Structure 1
Amino acid sequence: MQRRRFIRNAGIAAAAGTAFGAAGLYAIQPRRTVLPYAADNNAELPMAPAENKRVVVVGGGLAGMAAAYELLKRGFQVTLVERADNLGGRLTGWNVDVNGETMAMEHGFHGFFNQYYNLNGLLDEMGLRGNFKPVLDYPVIFKDPAKGTESFTNTTTLFPFNLFAVVNQAKSVSILDFNNPFGKLYELMRYDPERTFAKFDDIDFKTFCERVNQPMVDTIIEPFAHTSFNQFDQYSAAEGMKFFHFFFLGNPDGMGYDQTIDDAMTSVVTPMTQQLSELGGRVITGVEADRLVAGEGGVRKLVMKRPGDILDGPHSVPAADIGTQWTPFWQGANLYYAKREADGGYRALSGRCTHMGCPVGLDAATGGFACPCHGAKYDAEGKPTEGPTVVPLVALDAVADASEQVTFQPRAEHKTPELEADYFVLACDVPGLQGIVARSELPQRGFVQSVAGLGVADPYIVWRLWLDRECPPMAVPFYTVSGWRYTDSIAIYSQMQPEYEDWARRHRGSVLELHAYAVEPENVIDEAEIKRIMRAELDELIPQLKGAKVLYDVYAMQQNFPRWAPGDYQDRPGIETQVPNLFLAGDFVRLEVPANLMEAATMTGRIAANRILAAEGLRENPIPTVDLEGPLVL
C-alpha cells in the first residue's frame, strides 16, 4: 500500500495495526545505512599510499582524533596539534583538589547513544567498549506537577509503535496529537536533507511548532531540542527536524545510551591518545595553531605559537591608564593585563588562558587571575595554581616611550614553530577555527567568509557540587529537566562513577552536576546569583538535599557549541573546502547526513580522512549512518 494512502487514511494507530500490514510496516522502518564511496571500485583500491604523505590535524577532540586514527592506520605520517595539555576537546578532563583529595573532573556528563555508529565503532575497534555501561532509562522531570517525571524509554524500535510507546508513557500527550496527517508534526517524520533545508531552514523551530499541539511541544519537542545547546526560538527548524530524525525518528536503535564507567579521560581519552602514539602519530599538546601559510596548490604549512600568546603586533596604551595593580586592556579580541612596578617599570601578561584560550578575569580573592570556562586559576604572577593547565600566562614586553605610551608586544626571543604537510585538517571549535582562518590570508575569499559567518550558541553552564548530605537513591544517574530558569539536566556522580561513589560513602555526602544548556543573554548575570538560583532549583528537584552544605564546587560557563540559527545552512562550510588540501571536521560543519553532537564530530573526522584517502586514490572506509530520510518520505 502506498505511503500517501497511509497518510490519507485515519489515525496512525489504526493504520499501523491494520491497513498498513506487515509489508507496509517493513517498507517504512528506519534502517542503518552506509554512505556511498567516491569511487565505484572502492573495494579494489589500495590501502596505503605508495610514498610518504604528511597530514597535520589541528584540534584534539573526537573529530581530530578520529581523522588522525583513520589516517595513521593507512600509513600516513600524522601530527595532531592541540592547544590544551590533553586531547579530548569537550571530553577532556583534569584533576581537582577536593579538600586534600585528588579527584577527576571533566567538562560534563556525556551520553553515548546507540546510534553513534561511528563513535561506537571507533571505540569498539580500539577495544574500549568495556569501559562503558548502559543507562536503563531516559526520564524528564517537569516543573509542572501535573506532568511530574516522564519516561521516554522505548519498549520497541519499530516505527510507528515507538511513537505510541512515548505517547503511552507521557501523561500529558495523547494519541489525538496525531490527528492531522498533513500538520507540522508529521513533517518531523518526513525529513529529507534537500527538501527540509530548502523549505524550513529560514524558520525558527519555535515558530514551526506553533502548529503542533502544545502538549506535544512542551512535553517532548522543546525539552529535547534544548539539548542541541541552542535556544528554541533561535534554532533552525530544519536543524531541529534533523536533530529529531537522528535521535528518534530515523534511528533504528531506540533512545538507549551508555555512560563511561569512570571519568571520560580514564575511559576514553587517555587510551585513545596512547593508541594514536602507538600507531606512530606525533601528538603535540600545549601548542596553539596560529595560522596557515598558503602556497602553490593549497596550504603549505602551519605556524604555531604558545597557548595564550598574542602575535597580532604591538598594542599601545597611555602610561597614565596603568596602575600599580593588574589593569585589563582590550585590543579587538586580544586581552592584556599590565601594571606599574615600584621601580617605575611596567609588566604585562596575555589575558588568554593557556588551557583553551578563554579570556581570564581578575580573581579578587587571591589577587591573581581566574578563567571562567574550565576553572583554571593563576596567582598574581600568572603562574597556574588550580585547574586544567600547567602553563603560566604568557609574559609580554611592556616598554614605555617618550610620549608616555606603553607598548605591549611578544618577547623578542620567542620562536614560532612551523609544520609542513601535504594535507591539513582543521578540527577545532568555531572560535579556534575562525581565529586561524582570519590570520591565514588565504586567497579563497568564499571559504574565508563562510568560516567568518559561523556562530556559537548562547553560553552553557556546568556546575559540579560536593555536598555534605547523601542524595536519595535515584532510578538513573542522569535526568533531563524542563521548566526551570537555568537547570536543564542533573547528573548524580555519586551514583555513577566508582571514585565518586567511594567519596560519597566515606563522607556520607553526594556529588551532583547541574547543566544549563543555553543561557539567554538576559540570564548571563553575576555568577553568585546564578549559583543561588540553580541551588534553589536543585532543592526543588531533590528536596532531600535542601540545606546541605557545599563542601567544594567547580563552576564553568563556556561558549563553544555551534550555533544552528535560521538561514545559517546555505553558507555553512562543509568538510571539503575551496582550498584543495584543506579539510574541516567537527560538529559545526555543514553535514547533509543526519548526525549531531559527538557522532557528528566523529563522523566528520572520518569523512575528512576519507577525502584524503580518495585524493590519494586509496580505499575509503565505510561511514555508517542512520536512515538518510524520514519514514514518511514518499
Structure 2
Amino acid sequence: MSVAPVDPRRVVHPPADGHGDAGVLGRRPRVAVVGGGIAGLAAATGLAERGVVVEVLEREPYLGGRVGAWSDRLPDGTAVSMGRGFHAFFRQYYNLRALLRRADPGLRRLVALDDYPLIDAEGRRDTFRGLPRTPPWNAVLFALRSPTFRPRDLAGLDPRAAAPLAAVSVPGIYEALDHVDAQSFLESINFPPAARHLAFEVFSRSFFAPPSTMSAAELATMFHIYFLGSSEGLMFDVPDDGFDTALWEPLRHYLIARGVSFRTGTLASSVQRDVGSGRFHVNHSSGGTEVDAVVLATDVPGLREIVAASDLGSVDPLPAGPDALPAWRDDIAALGSAPPFLVYRLWLDRPVRADRPPFLGTGGLDPLDNISVLDRYEHDAASWAARTGGSVVELHAYSATVPTGFDEASWTADLRSRCLARLHAIYPETAGARAVGELVQWRRDCPMFGLGDFARRPGVVTPVDGLVLAGDGIRVDLPVALMERAASTGWLAANRLLAGWGLAGHPLETVPTRGRFGPLRRAAEYAMRSR
C-alpha cells in the first residue's frame, strides 16, 4: 500500500469556480480526447466528473501511453504481462495520485519499495534508504554518505554556480538556465565527476536524454522537486501488477460509469474546425467524431502529425493576434523527440539472488541504465516465478541513438547483447540462466527538453478556442516533471474547457513553487544576480 503524502508545505492551486454539472447548460458539451495516456485520462476524468460527454481516442489497443501494459505470450504459449517499462510513482506526484485515487481511493495497488540503490562502473553504491525527508538535510546527508562525494568535495563546490539549485522558481529557472546544458552546469558547480555520473546523470537520463543535450533548467527543477523543494523524500511506489491490471482498467471502468466512451486501436489523423459553428470534426481510422472541443493529449510525434494535417481555421481576428496560429503551428513543428530507448524483459529459468533489490539504477555502465526484478513486486511476474523457479528481469537503455552506418535492427540486437552482458556482470548468477522468453520494446516517443526549448514550448492553451493540449511535452509553469507533468496538464486542459462553459474546475497540488528556505533562497538569488 502506498504511503500518504506528508509535506505540509505542498501548494494547492485552486481552480475557477462554477457550476458542478453540465446539466445546467441545457445541452451537455461533447469533447474528444485524443490520446489515452496519463494526460488524456486526467483530462477525460476532469471533464466527465462535471457531466461533459467525453470520447477517448487511443491509437494503441491499451490505455496508459508510455505507462501502458498488455498481455503477450512466451514461446511456450504462456500468457504474460508486458509493458512500456519501469516507472517510479514518487510521493510528490500529487496530481497523478489524485487521478489514480478515482478508481483506487486508498492507492492499495501501489506498493512502496524500501530502497532505490545506484551503482557505477567502479562498484560504488549509493542508497536512499534512511535519508531524512526534510530538505536541505536530505540532500546534504545523501552527498556526505555517498562514496563518490567526500567531505572536502563539499568545500570545493562553487556556491555561486550552485545558487540556482536553491532558488528554483518556475518559470524563472528557465529564464536563468534553459540555455545551459545540464553537464556544463554540473561541471561549473565543481561536482566530482563520479558523483555527477552516479547521482545526477542517473536522474537526467530519466528524461531520455544525455546531460550534454538536456536543459540545465530541467535538471534544477528536478532537484527542486525531489530534494530541496519537497519533504516527501525520494522513495517511491510501484504498481503491484501490470499497469493495465493495477491502474488503467479500474480507471476505465470508473470513467465508463460516468459516460466516457473509449475507442482503442483508433488513430486520429487530423482536426477540422468549422468557422461558422466553432465546432470540431476529428478524423480518425474509425471514421470521424463531431464535438464542441478537443484535447490533444498525444505524444510529440503524434501531435506534430495531427497539427500539420489539421485545418484549424478560426474566427477573425484571433484573440491572441493574427499571427498567433501560424506561430503556434511552427512551435509544434519544432518540438523535438528524445533519442530512442530500449525496454528488454527476460523470463529466466533461475532466480536472481534473494538480496537483489527490486530496482537498481546504474551510472557509467553504458548502455544499461537500470535493472528491475519484476517478480519482487508484480503479481503476474511473481506467479510465473513461483511456478517455474525462475525470475522476471527488465533492462532499460535510454538515449540509445543509432550510430551512423548502422541499420536499426542490427543496432537493437547489439544493444540487447550489451545490456545482457552488463546484467551478467552486475548479477553474476544470471550468467548461466536460460531465457525462457524475452520481449522487447524499442521506442522513440519521449519529448526532448533541449537547450532553449522552454520559451517556445506550446502550453495547454492554444490560439484556437476549444482546442487544448496536454502531455509531458507540454509547457506548464509549475514545478512538475515526467508523469506528474502529464497528469497536471491533463487536469489543466480539462479546467480550461470547463471554465469556458462556466463549470467548476479541479484543484492541483505541487511542491512549493520556489526555493523552500527564505534565507537560503535570498542568498542564492543574490549570488545569481552577482554572477
TM-score by length of 1: 0.74
Q: Per-residue deviation at 1:594?
A: 1.0
Distance 2:257 2:186 in 1: 50
1:209 is paired with a residue of what secondary structure? Answer: helix
C-alpha contact (below 8 Å) 1:298/1:582 kept by paired residues: no
1:464 is paired with a residue of what secondary structure? Answer: strand
Identity, in percent, stands at 33
Distance 2:443 2:133 in 1: 35
C-alpha contact (below 8 Å) 2:158/2:188 kept by paired residues: no
Correspondence list, 1:377-416, <5 A? none
Instruction: Find the counterpart in structure 2 of residue 291 from structure 1.
Output: 270
1:152 is paired with a residue of what secondary structure? Answer: coil
Instruction: Find the counterpart in structure 1 of residue 165 from structure 2.
Output: 188
Instruction: Find the counterpart in structure 2 of residue 427 from structure 1.
Output: 297
Distance 2:412 2:470 in 1: 33
Q: Does 1:594 align with 2:479?
A: yes
Correspondence list, 1:99-110, <5 A? 99-110=76-87
C-alpha contact (below 8 Å) 1:287/1:304 kept by paired residues: no
Q: Against the structure 1 CA distance between its residues 489 and 297, is the aligned structure 2 distance closer, same or farther, given a 3 Å change threshold?
A: farther
Q: Per-residue deviation at 1:200?
A: 1.1
Instruction: Find the counterpart in structure 1 of residue 284 from structure 2.
Output: 305
Q: Against the structure 1 CA distance between its residues 58 and 535, is the aligned structure 2 distance closer, same or farther, given a 3 Å change threshold?
A: same
Q: Per-residue deviation at 1:425?
A: 0.5
Instruction: Find the counterpart in structure 2 of residue 207 from structure 1.
Output: 184
Q: Per-residue deviation at 1:154?
A: 4.8
C-alpha contact (below 8 Å) 2:34/2:297 kept by paired residues: yes
Q: Against the structure 1 CA distance between its residues 76 and 536, is the aligned structure 2 distance closer, same or farther, given a 3 Å change threshold?
A: same
* Pairing partner for 1:174 from 150, 163, 178: 150
**Structure 2 portions without partners, runs of 5+:** 1-6, 314-324, 523-531
Instruction: Find the counterpart in structure 2 of residue 526 from structure 1.
Output: 411
Q: Does 1:218 align with 2:197?
A: yes
Correspondence list, 1:263-412, <5 A? 263-296=242-275, 300-306=279-285
C-alpha contact (below 8 Å) 1:154/1:254 kept by paired residues: no
Q: Per-residue deviation at 1:35?
A: 2.0
Q: Does 1:68 align with 2:54?
A: no
- CA deviations 1:335-391 (Å, max 9, x no partner) are xxxxxxxxxxxxxxxxxxxxxxxxxxxxxxxxxxxxxxxxxxxxxxxxxxxxxxxxx
* Pairing partner for 1:473 from 317, 329, 354: 354
Correspondence list, 1:79-158, <5 A? 79-98=55-74, 99-127=76-104, 129-145=107-123, 147=124, 149-158=125-134
Q: Per-residue deviation at 1:633?
A: 2.7
Q: Match for 2:169: what amino acid?
A: D
Number of matched residues?
490
**Greater relative contact order (Cα 8 A, min sep 6): structure 1 or 2?**
2
Q: Match for 1:530: what amino acid?
A: L
Q: Match for 2:298: what amino acid?
A: C
- CA deviations 1:428-474 (Å, max 9, x no partner) are 10111111100003352122111101011000100001112221113
Q: Against the structure 1 CA distance between its residues 528 and 37, is the aligned structure 2 distance closer, same or farther, given a 3 Å change threshold?
A: closer
1:78 is paired with a residue of what secondary structure? Answer: strand
Q: Per-residue deviation at 1:248?
A: 2.2
Distance 2:122 2:166 in 1: 28
Q: Does 1:571 align with 2:452?
A: no
Say which structure is richer in helix. Answer: 2
- CA deviations 1:25-69 (Å, max 9, x no partner) are xxxx9920012545xxx3xx3212322111111100011111111
Q: Match for 1:221: what amino acid?
A: F
Distance 2:182 2:144 in 1: 25
Q: Per-residue deviation at 1:475?
A: 4.7
- CA deviations 1:558-609 (Å, max 9, x no partner) are 0001000001111110000111111000000011101111111111100111
Q: Against the structure 1 CA distance between its residues 30 and 485, is the aligned structure 2 distance closer, same or farther, given a 3 Å change threshold?
A: farther
- When Rg is computed on C-alpha atoms for both structures, the one with the higher figure is 1
**Structure 1 portions without partners, runs of 5+:** 1-28, 307-415
2:159 is paired with a residue of what secondary structure? Answer: coil
2:263 is paired with a residue of what secondary structure? Answer: strand
Instruction: Find the counterpart in structure 2 of residue 47 from structure 1.
Output: 20
Larger CA deviation: 554-563 vs 216-225: 216-225
2:171 is paired with a residue of what secondary structure? Answer: helix
Q: Per-residue deviation at 1:534?
A: 1.2
Distance 2:41 2:89 in 1: 17
1:490 is paired with a residue of what secondary structure? Answer: strand
Q: Match for 2:175: what amino acid?
A: A
Say which structure is richer in strand. Answer: 1
Instruction: Find the counterpart in structure 2 of residue 633 from structure 1.
Output: 521
Larger CA deviation: 133-142 vs 153-162: 153-162
Q: Match for 2:382: what amino acid?
A: E
- CA deviations 1:212-271 (Å, max 9, x no partner) are 222432332122111111111000111111122122221221112111111111100111
Q: Give the RMSD, CA atoms, in angstroms.
A: 1.9
C-alpha contact (below 8 Å) 2:50/2:504 kept by paired residues: no
Q: Does 1:165 align with 2:141?
A: yes
Q: Match for 1:269: what amino acid?
A: W
Larger CA deviation: 103-112 vs 208-217: 208-217
Correspondence list, 1:434-445, <5 A? 434-443=304-313, 444-445=325-326
* Pairing partner for 2:221 from 224, 230, 242: 242
Q: Per-residue deviation at 1:203?
A: 1.2
